[in-house]
């Protein structure tokens, strides 16, 4: 199975940021022949602090994503947090993503499945790969024709994550498309004074380790200037470094 790449800024910050990232993804798709999905969130509903930036919201955010698709021809992926967001998001994006914290929320999974779009379910930080059988079954029994699973690490004490790469072959029992979230897996949740920290220097190694364990997709949050990003900056990959990481995987 040819690997897919999912990449983009954590949250929609501005049209200029979206276009800069999209332009680079189009270039890499053309030059390297990769299959790539553009990812950005219209709302980050699970930020650590109430004062943290969440995004432009559903209506404006979906319009900005639709503009990216129209201008650059990239397929889109975005996450939803409430079942009522599934239908409008499914009219714009090509893949609906279920956040890790919400992967057991039945109504959310059912609503996503009923759109007819592929559903990418991120494995919760408190579940094993084998536990993901049940979210997959919920989606398939609700009409989903394609379900993906994404590994993003497990809680390891306070403010830390660890990746058990055995989860990748375990999840491949339930679906052939198992993706490694190479940037969220290096997060330090809540470890930066009301914000999430991270160690982006480990992102390339996370990707290569996932490849060794049979991953069939790779998820990266990328940004032109992570130090100034409005969400997840410490674990995001610099846009200029993305090409090298992709080349190491293909």
CATH number at residue 58: 3.20.20.70
Residue 191 has what pLDDT?
Answer: 47
Q: What does the alpha-carbon distance between residue 94 and residue 30 come to, in Å, rounded to a whole number?
A: 20
Q: What confidence score (pLDDT) does residue 177 get?
A: 98
14-65 residue pLDDT tens: 999 999 999 999 999 999 999 999 999 999 887 777 878 899 999 999 999 9
61-97: pLDDT as tens digits = 999 999 999 999 999 999 999 999 999 999 999 999 9
Using only the alpha carbons of the chain, give its radius of gyration. 16
Distance CA 103, CA 134 (A): 10
Tokens coding 139: 């989606």
Question: What mean pLDDT value characterizes the chain?
Answer: 94
Q: Which domain holds residue 112?
A: 4-249
Q: Whole-model pTM above 0.85? A: yes
Structural domains counted in the chain: 1
More reliable by pLDDT, 236 or 7: 7
Residues forming a β-bridge with 4: 35, 217
For 152-179, write each residue's pLDDT tens digit. Answer: 999 887 888 899 999 999 999 999 999 9
- The DSSP 8-state label assigned to residue 241 in this structure reads G
For residue 62, the surrounding DSSP H or E stretch is helix 58-72
């Amino acid at each position: 199975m040819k690997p897919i790449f999912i990449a983009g800024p954590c949250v929609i910050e501005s049209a200029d940021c979206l276009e800069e990232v999209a332009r680079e993804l189009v270039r890499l798709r053309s030059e390297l022949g990769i299959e790539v999905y553009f990812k950005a969130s219209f709302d980050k509903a699970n930020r650590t602090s109430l004062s943290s930036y969440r995004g432009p919201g559903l209506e404006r955010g979906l319009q900005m994503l639709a503009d990216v698709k129209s201008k650059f021809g990239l397929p889109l992926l975005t996450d939803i947090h409430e079942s009522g967001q599934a239908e409008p998001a499914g009219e714009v994006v090509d893949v609906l993503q279920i956040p890790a914290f919400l992967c057991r929320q039945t109504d959310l999974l059912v609503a996503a499945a009923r759109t007819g779009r592929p559903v990418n379910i991120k494995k919760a930080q408190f579940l094993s790969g084998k536990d993901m059988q049940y979210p997959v079954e919920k989606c398939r029994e609700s009409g989903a024709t394609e379900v993906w699973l994404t590994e993003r690490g497990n809680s390891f004490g306070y403010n830390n994550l660890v990746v058990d790469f055995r989860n990748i072959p375990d999840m491949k029992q339930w679906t052939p498309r198992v993706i490694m979230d190479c940037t969220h897996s290096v997060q330090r949740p809540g470890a930066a004074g009301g914000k999430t920290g991270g160690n982006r220097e480990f992102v390339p190694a996370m990707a290569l380790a996932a490849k060794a364990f049979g991953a069939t997709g790779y998820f990266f949050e990328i940004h032109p200037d992570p130090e100034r990003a409005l969400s997840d900056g410490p674990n995001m990959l610099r846009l200029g470094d993305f090409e090298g990481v992709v080349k190491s995987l293909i």
